[in-house]
Structure 1
Amino acid sequence: MLRAYYLYTGRDGHSHVQRGRLVEREVTAAKSVMWAESPPYSSLDWHNAPTTQYVLTLAGELEFVTQTGESFTILPGDVLVATDVTGSGHKWRLVNDQPWRRAYVAFDGSTKLNFEADESTEPAVSSACQEEGLSKI
């Protein structure tokens, strides 16, 4: 199972998160791939995703927070499905002494993102996602 976090802009204009997984063995056409590294203890204040993208974490442990207070921790091997290109955005900070090594895989707006939401998502997060119709993307 490929653990994933779906970050999206809700009808309220704020970023929200849905926990789930990527559906394995489905091909997703990508527009571009970019590699990046941030030093240990780095952070980035409020921002939006620049484009719809997967962020594949190779090393580092970081905490993401939305303006509404939703938070989640990304570990090596986790995938962030970032689609919150508008709205209030999110911020992140590295929480250990490792650099954040990652790959950004960008998509165009019509690409089907192979994300499937967890059934056990916390009620507040799940309700927000149900309002958006996000049980499976």
Structure 2
Amino acid sequence: MKMISKLAIACVLAASSLNAVKAQEGHGKIKEVKVEAEGEMPAVRLINNPDGTCSFQKGFIPTLKHANTSTFWTSNKTEEWEKNAHPAPRRQYVVTLKGKIRFKVSDGSTFLIKPGTILLAEDLKGTGHSWQMVHSKSWERLYIPINEGADDLFVAKND
């Protein structure tokens, strides 16, 4: 069990469901992006822009790569501070186990996270992001903080 990273366990749990992410860029059309290549888990990364705003990148995290993490925890409730726009409290993977969540970044762009897509929260400054549940009453998720200075393993996909 020691050889299997906590991220790998989380990915296996999350992969048991739909393997897609929908993104609505700006006020344009909704576009579905599927990452089905073997050896890739679909991911979306929240990032800070130089002006302090938040945006996102679509991509993937290679499978069977060991992430430098030391702990994880689960949640199925929402804290008060999460109900408004906020930056991520730390660099972390957020793995949705149940629920659909629409995330919104500074310019109004949104994307949908479903089980099977890993969210990488790295928007640590500025206004951050907001989110809301879509057609679900609960959001079950794993939080997996990335150790300080460690590689997040994220690979951006160019559209």
Match for 2:101: what amino acid? Answer: L
* Residue matched to 2:61: 22
SS in 2 for 1:32: coil
Aligned partner (choices 43, 67, 73) of residue 34 of structure 1: 73
**Pairwise CA distance, 1:98:** 4.3
Query: TM-score, normalization: structure 1?
Result: 0.80
**Pairwise CA distance, 1:10:** 1.0
SS in 2 for 1:3: strand
Query: TM-score, normalization: structure 2?
Result: 0.69
Q: Distance in 1 between matches of 2:105 and 2:139?
A: 19
* Residue matched to 1:73: 112
Higher strand proportion (structure 1 or 2): 1
Match for 2:134: what amino acid? Answer: V
- Residue 105 (str. 1) matches residue 144 (str. 2): yes
- Residue 96 (str. 1) matches residue 127 (str. 2): no
Match for 1:8: what amino acid? Answer: I
Cα RMSD (Å): 1.4
Gaps in structure 1 of 5+ consecutive residues: 121-137
**Pairwise CA distance, 1:32:** 2.1
Structure of higher RCO (CA pairs closer than 8 Å, 6+ residues apart): 1
Q: Distance in 2 between matches of 1:46 and 1:99?
A: 19
Q: Distance in 1 between matches of 2:105 and 2:142?
A: 22
**Pairwise CA distance, 1:87:** 1.2
- Residue 60 (str. 1) matches residue 106 (str. 2): no
**Residues 70-108 of structure 1 deviation map (CA, whole Å, 9 limit, x = unaligned):** 210000111100011111100000011242100000023
* Residue matched to 2:155: 116
| Matched residue count | 117
Gaps in structure 2 of 5+ consecutive residues: 1-39
Match for 1:11: what amino acid? Answer: P
* Residue matched to 1:127: none
Q: Distance in 1 between matches of 2:147 and 2:136?
A: 34
Question: Could you tell me the percent identity over the aligned residues?
Answer: 29
